[in-house]
Amino acid sequence: MTTLLSVSDLRLSFGGLLAIDGLTFSVNEAEVVSVIGPNGAGKTSAFNCVTGFYRPTAGQIMLRGRSLRGLRPSAVAALGVARTFQNLRLFGELSVLDNVRAGAHLWLRQNVLDALLHTPRYRRSERECTEQAHHWLDFVGLRGDRYGEARHLPYGEQRRVEIARALARRPDLLLLDEPAAGLNHGEKTELLDLIRRIQALGVAIVLIEHDMGLVMEVSERVVVLNFGKEIADGRPEDVRRDPAVIEAYLGSDTHA
Amino acid sequence: MTGVPDTTPEGAPEDTVRSTAADTAESTDGSATAGVARAAAPNEATGETANEAPGPARKTAEVRRRGAGRPPTRASRLLQNRWAGLAGLLLALLAPFVDATPYALSVMTSAAIFVMLAAGLNIVVGYCGLLDLGYVAFFAVGAYTSGVLATRLDLPLVATVPVVIVVTVVAGVVIGAPTLRLRSDYLAIVTLGFGEIIRITANNLDVTGGPSGIYGIPGLAGSPVAFYYLTVVVVALAVLGAARLGRSRIGRAWRFVREDEDAAEAMGVHTYRVKLAAYIAGAVWGGLAGVLFAAHLSAISPGSFTFLQSALVLMAVVLGGMGSVPGVVIGAIVISILPEILRDLADYRFFLFGVLLIAVMLLRPQGLWPARSKEVP
């Protein structure tokens, strides 16, 4: 297996606070890696460093041998990384389809002149864009209205739209930040299935998640963070037996 | 919120439950992204499309996923496609047959130019969500560039258009590049400053004629009627162009930026470049409107490019419905024609103008013809 993403000795400090203190992990192609840890452990900060929203203080972030450090988020996205946000960040007042079309932004080949003159190229790219949007909404199994505003969808459906939007980017690496938060049991089961189907497309997934059932079920490897430090990295069954992890994170609730 | 937004076709069965939730109604009424919708009656839009169906809507969820079995009705088709635009254009073309006095033609020409300004500012404020309080700067740059070139070099006005486009693009970059890194309030203040800088510069330079401005700018057409028609055609193309940009890749990117800059970035939208593109497009629209303005009045002076003018254009955009092309066209016509209609009231004219604007914003805070994000399958 080839390495897709490798993060080495990543450090991030806000003033005097060390949010990430020497994080090293890697993700292979089409692999599901979970990043877990108590609240404030630096999981989302690590995501933000990888996707260019934060500038790390030190360390390396390489995607297929290319450094992502110092790139703006749109440039990181252009290299094949898509993400969702911990708190839903849909374009609430736009239609559901338009939200997913955002994911296709990088794939559209049309310029301003095409748009002004409605050239065949414009029509073709608009049609393909809409087809793509429908395709990914089908893929995530959206049941709600696609034509109305995204903010009117129920919460669980909005989560699906956000994943569809990221998938429409057709990324090699997908970062999911707590995708199960706020979902009910049935929706979590569907999410599990969805993650497996995304993986089957050949997409590598990094997952931040608090739901241990989901993490243990879906991940090939688990990275555990605590206070910005990595305390474990291994197969789920090994990580759950790791005394350091049990002490720091799982606590007494080993069967969670 | 009391209901899911309705997707039942307009003129649906009587049993559709009407919801009173203002915020959901907001999303459903109003329509049309197409073309030039001059003077189309806005209340038609609300009457036709304000249906709400919280209950039955759910039942048909599966069906309406792909919009199967819900062909757009004639009413909705009329509102969403280009017919409204063509009807508006037709109205504008027929108007001189109703009243072709020099006064009426002058008012209508000014209104058309104002429509173009509103369509341009709508790209910046409506689509991209960048509050620009100095938009008149580009109007001034366009008018002065063509005016100075035409009078000093004895060029026909048409010949100055390419130069105007280049100069306004440069002006857009010069004003936009440093300011677009700022967010909301700061951007508004800085654009306000630039608007004033341009006016005061024109007031103090010799080449722009100082406070008295430039006289004897050649016209673009032989007669006021011909010029009116030329203006209508140019403005219609500008409005159509703005609408088409709004429905393209860049237009969607503008809306993504308006809705959530971080999420847009995460999807690969270079937000800074996209904002600059909106600013440049707005600048070119404003500059070309400036050429028409110079040709229309044949004289320009700094007094025409005050902050009040920026505020009025912004008001047209907000009044009509930010981001809605038919909305801003109607808004611009209302803002430019209303003071003329109220002329008989003499001293009370602008008092009543203000009262009417406040009344409209209280009764229809989303604008006369709001932008519609709902899609017709």
Return the H-helix or E-strand segment holding A175. Answer: strand A173-177
Let me know if residue A180 belongs to a domain: yes
**Residue A251 pLDDT:** 58
Write out pLDDT tens, residues A215-229: 999 999 999 998 888
Q: Does B355 touch chain A (CB under 8 A)?
A: no
Q: How far, in whole angstroms, is CA A114 from its chain's centroid?
A: 33
Instruction: Report the residue from B64, B244, B259 with minimal CB separation from A116.
Output: B244
What is the layout of strands, in order, in the sheet containing A17-28? A17-28, A3-14, A58-63, A66-67
The answer to whether A43 touches A231, Cβ cutoff 8 Å, is no
State how far the Cα of B56 lies from the Cα of B66, in Å rounded to an integer.
17
**Residue B178 pLDDT:** 87
- What is chain A's alpha carbon radius of gyration, rounded to the nearest angstrom? 19
State how far the Cα of A237 lies from the Cα of A131, in Å rounded to an integer.
41
State how far the Cα of B156 lies from the Cα of A96, in Å rounded to an integer.
50
Let me know if residue A216 belongs to a domain: yes
Across A102-141, b (16+ Cβ under 10 Å) vs e yields bbbbbebebebebbbeeeeebeebbeebbebbbebbebbe
Q: What percentage of chain B reaches a pLDDT higher than 90?
A: 60
**CATH code given to domain B88-363:** 1.10.3470
Domain ranges of chain B: 88-363
CATH number at residue A181: 3.40.50.300
ipTM of the predicted structure?
0.93
Burial class (CB in 10 A: 0-12, 13-18, 19+), B262: middle
> How many other C-beta atoms are found inside a 10 Å radius of the C-beta of residue B158?
13
The candidate with the shortest Cα–Cα distance to B284, out of B253, B242, B248, B232, is B242
Mutant choice from B267, B275, B376 vs A, greatest count of A C-beta within 10 A: B267
Let me know if residue A207 belongs to a domain: yes
Q: Does A143 touch chain B (CB under 8 A)?
A: yes
Residue B294's contacts (CB-CB under 8 Å, 6 or more residues apart) are B142, B143, B144, B146, B147, B150, B157, B214, B217, B300
Write out pLDDT tens, residues B24-67: 333 333 333 333 333 333 333 333 333 333 333 333 333 334 43
The candidate with the shortest Cα–Cα distance to A201, out of A107, A91, A82, A94, is A82
Would strands A221-226 and A229-234 be described as parallel, antiparallel, or unpaired? Answer: antiparallel
State how far the Cα of A231 lies from the Cα of B208, in Å rounded to an integer.
70
The answer to whether A79 touches A68, Cβ cutoff 8 Å, is yes
State how far the Cα of B109 lies from the Cα of B122, in Å rounded to an integer.
20
Let me know if residue A201 belongs to a domain: yes
Let me know if residue A108 belongs to a domain: no
DSSP annotation of B140: H
Write out pLDDT tens, residues A82-140: 999 999 999 999 999 999 999 999 999 999 999 999 999 999 999 999 999 999 999 99
Cα-flanking dihedrals φ and ψ of residue A23, to 5°? -90, 130
Cα-flanking dihedrals φ and ψ of residue B144, to 5°? -70, -40
Please report the sign of the dihedral spanned by the C-alpha atoms of residue B267, residue B271, residue B273, residue B275.
positive
**pLDDT class for B81, splitting at 50, 70, 90?**
low
Q: Does A78 touch chain B (CB under 8 A)?
A: yes
Q: Which two tokens stand for residue A113?
A: 């002149």
Smallest CA–CA distance, residue A15 to chain B, in Å, is: 23
Smallest CA–CA distance, residue B1 to chain A, in Å, is: 9
Tell me how many domains chain A contains.
Answer: 1
**Residue B80 pLDDT:** 55
Q: Is A165 helix (H, G, I), strand (E, B) or coil?
A: helix
- End-to-end Cα spacing for chain B: 24
State how far the Cα of A158 lies from the Cα of A176, in Å rounded to an integer.
14
Cα-flanking dihedrals φ and ψ of residue A244, to 5°? -65, -40
**Residue B9 pLDDT:** 37
Write out pLDDT tens, residues B306-316: 999 999 999 99
Let me know if residue A191 belongs to a domain: yes
The answer to whether B124 touches B247, Cβ cutoff 8 Å, is no
The answer to whether B296 touches B232, Cβ cutoff 8 Å, is no
Mean pLDDT, chain B, rounded, equals: 80
pLDDT at residue B104 tops 60: yes
Q: Domain limits at A28? A: 3-80+171-250
Q: What percentage of chain B reaches a pLDDT higher than 70?
A: 78
Let me know if residue A117 belongs to a domain: no
The answer to whether B236 touches B96, Cβ cutoff 8 Å, is no
Q: Which two tokens stand for residue B31?
A: 């329509």
- End-to-end Cα spacing for chain A: 31
Q: Do A94 and B255 touch (CB under 8 A)?
A: yes
**pLDDT class for B370, splitting at 50, 70, 90?**
confident
Mutant choice from A124, A147, A152 vs B, greatest count of B C-beta within 10 A: A147
State how far the Cα of B280 lies from the Cα of B290, in Å rounded to an integer.
15
Mean pLDDT, chain A, rounded, equals: 92
Mutant choice from A49, A105, A131 vs B, greatest count of B C-beta within 10 A: A105
- Tell me the DSSP string of B202-246: HHH-TTTTGGG-B-----SSSSHHHHHHHHHHHHHHHHHHHHHHH
The answer to whether A52 touches A73, Cβ cutoff 8 Å, is yes
Residue B193's contacts (CB-CB under 8 Å, 6 or more residues apart) are B134
pLDDT at residue B186 tops 80: yes
Smallest CA–CA distance, residue B157 to chain A, in Å, is: 24
The candidate with the shortest Cα–Cα distance to B146, out of B299, B306, B281, is B299
Place of tokens 């992204």: B33
pLDDT at residue A254 tops 50: no
The candidate with the shortest Cα–Cα distance to A164, out of A122, A127, A193, A198, is A198
Helix axes B102-121, B325-341, angle to 10 degrees: 140
Q: Do A94 and B259 touch (CB under 8 A)?
A: yes
**Residue B31 pLDDT:** 36
**Residue B336 pLDDT:** 93
**pLDDT class for A250, splitting at 50, 70, 90?**
low
State how far the Cα of B308 lies from the Cα of B352, in Å rounded to an integer.
17
State how far the Cα of B349 lies from the Cα of B358, in Å rounded to an integer.
14
**Residue B69 pLDDT:** 36
Instruction: Report the residue from B248, B270, B374 with minimal CB separation from A149.
Output: B374
Let me know if residue A87 belongs to a domain: no
**Residue A147 pLDDT:** 93
